[in-house]
């Protein structure tokens, strides 16, 4: 299984930010892991040009569940693909919170992504209140069951475990807590999808930094990271890529 270092730029980045990509590619022309950057949609096409023929691939941050139509301001999976994306983040907790996205909607979007030939990077994660109430695995199990459509395989799906309370806070679960959830996700996928589940990569996300990446990558069933803030700087993301390549 090829490990994956994915960067989610969220609503950050203009044309000048592509210099960070040039610097990243200078640092890592041939990493032992796959690199993915998901920029804002405005930068997809120019980033895809930069990434062509390199170890870097490009992804969107969301897509609409329909293939086309009267949906002002939305973007379809086929449009992402046309702009050079190979994957798309779906069901990020910021979209679930800001835009009321439900598990059912995320599953519809994942099917739309699959139809367009994109890999769906489906995000799951508990809130702090849910963890404190001892409900983490119940919440993750329900999100997994509801957000991941039938027919998921390593070729069309990546799962990212991102505890909501760890995103952008500098707080990270203990390695045991990460291990518990990743083991649970792995077992749940195996139970539902059988052998096809074995190739589905599981990413950890939430305050991954150069300083903590290496130890997180040692946790069983962690096949990479989905990185927010630290993906914006080539030096930081490059260190995380190096840690994953060495893991």
Q: What is the DSSP string of 111-164?
A: HHHHHTTPEEEEEE---HHHHHTT-HHHHHHHHHHHHS-TT--TTTEEEEE--G
- The answer to whether the CB of 52 falls within 8 A of the CB of 26 is no
CB of 14 to ligand 13P, least distance (A): 19
| Distance in Å, CB of 12 to ligand 13P, minimum | 10
Give least dist CB 40 to ligand 13P, A. Answer: 13
Q: Which is nearer to ligand 13P, 94 or 103 (CB)?
A: 94
In the annotation, is 92 catalytic?
yes
Shorter beta-carbon distance to ligand 13P: residue 228 or 238: 228
Comparing CB distances to ligand 13P, the nearer of 160 and 193 is 160
64 is catalytic: no
* Cα–Cα distance measured from residue 89 to residue 109, given in angstroms and rounded to the nearest whole number: 10
Is the Cβ of residue 8 or residue 239 nearer to ligand 13P in the bound state? 8
Annotated catalytic residue within 28, 64, 92, 223:
92
At 95, give phi and psi (nearest 5°). Answer: -75, -35
Give residue for tokens 């109430």: 133
Pick from 144, 36, 172, 161: nearest CA to 93:
161
Q: CB of 135: closest distance to ligand 13P in angstroms? A: 21
- Residues of the shown chain interacting with ligand 13P in the complex, contacts defined by CB under 6 A: 8, 92, 162, 167-168, 205-208, 226-230
Which DSSP letter does residue 82 get?
H
Q: What's the CA gap between 126 and 243, in Å, rounded?
A: 26
Of residues 5 and 152, the one with the C-beta less far from ligand 13P: 5
Residue nearest to ligand 13P (CB): 228
Residues 6+ apart with CB under 8 A from 165: 126, 127, 128, 131, 171, 206
CB of 207 to ligand 13P, least distance (A): 4
Structure token pair of residue 37? 């950057």
Catalytic, out of 20, 34, 162, 221: 162
Point out the residues that are catalytic: 92, 162
């Amino acid at each position: 299984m090829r490990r994956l270092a994915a960067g989610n730029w969220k609503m950050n980045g203009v044309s000048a930010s592509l210099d960070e990509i040039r610097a990243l590619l200078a640092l890592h022309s041939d990493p032992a892991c796959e690199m993915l950057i998901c920029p804002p949609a405005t930068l997809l096409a120019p980033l895809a040009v930069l990434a062509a023929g390199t170890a870097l691939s490009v992804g969107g941050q969301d897509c609409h569940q329909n293939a086309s139509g009267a949906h002002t301001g939305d973007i379809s999976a086929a449009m992402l693909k046309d702009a050079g994306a190979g994957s798309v983040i779906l069901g990020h907790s910021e979209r679930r919170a800001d835009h009321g996205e439900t598990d059912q909607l995320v599953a519809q979007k994942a099917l739309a992504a699959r139809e367009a030939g994109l890999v769906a990077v489906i995000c799951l994660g508990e809130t702090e209140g849910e963890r404190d109430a001892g409900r983490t695995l119940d919440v993750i199990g329900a999100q997994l069951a509801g957000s991941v459509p039938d027919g998921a395989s390593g070729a069309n799906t990546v799962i990212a475990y991102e505890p909501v309370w760890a995103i952008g806070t500098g707080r990270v679960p203990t390695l045991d807590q990460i291990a518990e959830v990743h083991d649970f996700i792995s077992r749940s996928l195996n139970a539902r999808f059988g052998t096809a589940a074995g190739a589905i990569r599981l990413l950890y996300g939430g305050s991954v930094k150069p300083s903590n990446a290496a130890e997180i990558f040692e946790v069983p069933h962690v096949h990479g990271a989905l990185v927010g803030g630290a993906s914006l700087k080539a030096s930081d993301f490059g260190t995380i890529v190096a840690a994953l390549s060495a893991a």
